[in-house]
Amino acid sequence: MNLNIKATQANTYDAIVVGSGISGGYAAMELTSKGYKTLVLERGRMVKHGEYPTAHLDPWDLKNHGRVSAEEIALHYFKQNRLNWWVNEDNKHWINKDDEYPYDEKKRFDWIRGHHVGGRSIMWGRHCYRWSDIDFEANLKEGIATDWPIRYKDIEPWYDYVETFVGVAGQAEGLKQVPDGKFLKPFPLNCVEEHVREKIREKYPERILTPGRVANLSEYDPEVHKGTRGQCVARDRCWRGCPYGAPFCSLSSTLVVAEETGNLTIRPDSIVSEIVYDASTGKATGVRVKDSNTGEEMEFFSRIVFCNASTIGTTAILLNSRSDAFPTGLGNESGELGHNLMDHHYGMGASGSLPGFEDEYYYGRKPGGIYIPRFRNIDEETKQKDYLRGFGYQGGATRSQNVPAGVLGVDLKDEIFKPGPWSFGISCFGEMLPYHDNKMELNFNKRDKHGMPIITFDAQLRENEKKLREDGVRCAVEMLEAAGCENISSYNSETAPGACIHEMGTARMGHNDQNSVLNKWNQIHNVPNVFVTDGACMTSAGTQNPSITYMALTARAVDYADKQVKAGKL
């Protein structure tokens, strides 16, 4: 009896955070900074800042210049590499092996994961755009899915708060669809991008080409950018893990700050199988965990649980947390848990060459290209007849190889060391509506090597997305033409959901337990000490890259939880 109490005490914390990626790291920092003894559970292996084995390798240092052999792809990355570009020698150690982490698909779903401390905050694209009321009001105005329970004013101060800490380089544009934030100086447009910006704006005043707003420290202030951060040195190798700490990543920022408080315990190799619910208190008591190395099962207890295991991971845990009170999964009174699975979709855009500018060049490799925020369906004037929502673009201008046609031999040797002609390209990222029928489920009759039920995906792009894509390509070509591009080529090859690695939804926020899983504080409606602040909480997908919104919602939810605890309500 005594022993049990001792063991329980040893496994008891003020707060548990499931997951150490971009939102889990943020939850850990906020909780530990407020004095909560916090346990972070990460199902993958331990990684510490600086442990980036490929950070300094040049293309010729990598086997097959970075491409993974067909044999290895077939053995380990047969789903992860259906994206074709994703698995490379420089990043494959951050990518789950498909043979070890199986999942099923009724329709193709590219579930791209990396199980290790820091999660995908190591490899993320780092673009950060605020949502606006155009996004938060869209579901209500259009009668789609369910209404967001928050508006821009609710999250605005939290964007300020997280952007300041994260460090977002960007340029203020005064746009209602992507409100300006707390920006560090941008990585500016190069001469040709500047030219393209002006040419597009002359013809299409509502289409604004701006420097990508990226979480890379163009200016470093150690007082603000705490942890082990540093100034960007323009190498553009962020996704390998940056030894300089310039890109925002859990490993160099939030987890370091959390560690310094003395309140953090981080436990890698810990698979959370479920959140344990106590009907007598109406709250969760903690989580059940399996050690992925030893197979040992254990329970951890806490006053608050933050579930940040990434969209799919979080919802899988909730669906697996079944009790008499919640027979189909924790917080699933609405039946929406696992549904409304979203992503952004891409694979459409245009590129071309741009004559002239022979004397112009650039120095260094900026860590983000350009961004053209959404300009469709943002007001009455821009309303489209055949589809809802919109799309944004990323891309940029660079000088390509200098290989003049017909020049060969000695003459060619004189040419190929020079910078070649300018090319400009943009790729379109579209919004995907929240459809109840786009879903993930657990197959309790089929389990992985850790005994966890296998996830089955059943989601697809539908009519609205297809219409939107056509317009996205059309507008891309129009803009390249306006810019004076030649040899314009466009493309539209549909990507599967998941491929954009912006998976969202499945435990959405809403006004009540009949239409949603979470309330406006990211709290499970009827389980007030469980918070979900990763992509699972999203009620719609927007066109913006979502991570900064997860971080803002996380900081906001921790602040709320803390106030509730202090008020004796949690």
Partner 1 sequence: MNRRDALKYVAMLTGAAVSSPLSASILSGTASRFLNPGPDYKPRLFNNDQFKFLTALADTILPKTDSPSASEVGVPGTIDGFIFEVYTKNVHANILRNFNSLMDHLNKEVGNRAFSSAENETKLKALKELDGGKNSSAKLEYLRMKQLIITYYLLSEEIGENYLNYLPVPGYYDPCATVESTGGKAWSL
Q: Which of residues 393-432 bind partner 1 (CB under 8 A)?
A: 394-403, 405-406, 408-410, 412-413, 416-420, 423-427
Q: Does 66 interact with partner 1 (rule: CB under 8 A)?
A: yes
Closest distance to partner 1 from the beta carbon of 21 (Å): 17
Q: Report the greatest alpha carbon distance in the chain.
A: 87
Half-sphere exposure of 78 (CA within 13 A, CB side): 11
Q: Please tell me whether residue 421 adopts helix, strand or coil conformation.
A: coil
Task: Please name every residue paired with 436 in a beta bridge, in sequence order, or none if there are none.
Answer: none
Q: Does 83 interact with partner 1 (rule: CB under 8 A)?
A: yes
Binder of partner 1 out of 214, 317, 517, 541 (CB under 8 A): 214
Closest distance to partner 1 from the beta carbon of 366 (Å): 5
Comparing CB distances to partner 1, the nearer of 125 and 510 is 125
Identify whether the C-beta of residue 507 lies closer than 8 Å to the C-beta of residue 532.
yes
Binder of partner 1 out of 5, 58, 143, 262 (CB under 8 A): 58
Q: Does 234 interact with partner 1 (rule: CB under 8 A)?
A: yes
CA pair distance 166, 155, nearest whole angstrom: 16
Q: Does 9 interact with partner 1 (rule: CB under 8 A)?
A: no
Q: Which residue has the tokens 């699933």?
A: 332
Closest distance to partner 1 from the beta carbon of 460 (Å): 16
Binder of partner 1 out of 2, 3, 10, 85 (CB under 8 A): 85
What part of residues 320-349 is at the interface with partner 1 (CB under 8 A)?
346-347, 349
**What is the total count of residues that contact partner 1 (CB under 8 A)?**
86
Between helices 191-203 and 463-483, what is the axis angle to 10°? 110
Identify whether the C-beta of residue 542 lies closer than 8 Å to the C-beta of residue 505.
no
Q: Does 75 interact with partner 1 (rule: CB under 8 A)?
A: no
Sheet holding 486-492, edge to edge: 210-211, 370-372, 391-399, 422-430, 345-354, 486-492
Q: Does 125 interact with partner 1 (rule: CB under 8 A)?
A: yes
CA pair distance 536, 251, nearest whole angstrom: 22
What part of residues 131-190 is at the interface with partner 1 (CB under 8 A)?
187-190
What part of residues 20-49 is at the interface with partner 1 (CB under 8 A)?
none
CA pair distance 524, 526, nearest whole angstrom: 6
In this structure, what token pair is assigned to residue 43?
């199902």
Comparing CB distances to partner 1, the nearer of 21 and 396 is 396
CA pair distance 323, 219, nearest whole angstrom: 50
Closest distance to partner 1 from the beta carbon of 78 (Å): 12
Comparing CB distances to partner 1, the nearer of 473 and 565 is 473
Closest distance to partner 1 from the beta carbon of 430 (Å): 13
Closest distance to partner 1 from the beta carbon of 221 (Å): 16
Comparing CB distances to partner 1, the nearer of 83 and 178 is 83
- Quick one: which H or E segment has residue 429? strand 422-430
CA angle 441, 146, 374 (to 5 degrees): 100
CA pair distance 27, 41, nearest whole angstrom: 12
What part of residues 357-396 is at the interface with partner 1 (CB under 8 A)?
358-369, 394-396
CA pair distance 262, 4, nearest whole angstrom: 26
Comparing CB distances to partner 1, the nearer of 195 and 283 is 195
Q: Does 470 interact with partner 1 (rule: CB under 8 A)?
A: no
